[in-house]
Amino acid sequence: MNKILLGVFSTLMLGACTQAVQATSRKLPEPLSERVKLADAVFLGTLKNKVVKGDWATAELHVDKALSGAKAEQIFNVTWRIKLSNMVIFDVKEGARGIALLKGKHKERYWLRADKFESVEKLAEVQRMVNK
């Protein structure tokens, strides 16, 4: 009987933890204008030299077009967590291009997440925000 109760309790706790992680990962990012304003560096970049170790990835973001806090051809080291347990959090393919909104470092690397690597299609919008 105790093993059954322990099994039920463990299952309930696992379910609660999973829901908490999913709720956190679905948290809406700050508006784009706020993220641009708070970023240390804003630029159009290409992801290169991606290395995956377990659930984590590191790479270099090469500046293609500097907008703020970056110089042409500068390289920014980035890190991110690809997955937690079996749930994919965020991933970027080698060679992907996007608008980097870098803020926050971990071991001399900027964090890279969906709210920090925007679609290239938003370039004109981000340029207007930087040039205000």
- Predicted confidence (pLDDT) per residue in 34-76, tens digit: 999 999 999 999 999 999 999 999 999 999 999 999 999 999 9
| pTM for this prediction | 0.75
Q: Which CATH class is domain 32-130?
A: mainly beta
105 vs 31: CA distance, rounded Å: 21
Q: Where are the domains of the chain?
A: 32-130
Beta bridge partners of 53: 56
Q: Which residues contact residue 131 at a Cβ distance below 8 angstroms, ignoring those fewer than 6 apart? A: none
Banded model confidence at residue 1, pLDDT cuts 50, 70, 90: low
Banded model confidence at residue 10, pLDDT cuts 50, 70, 90: low
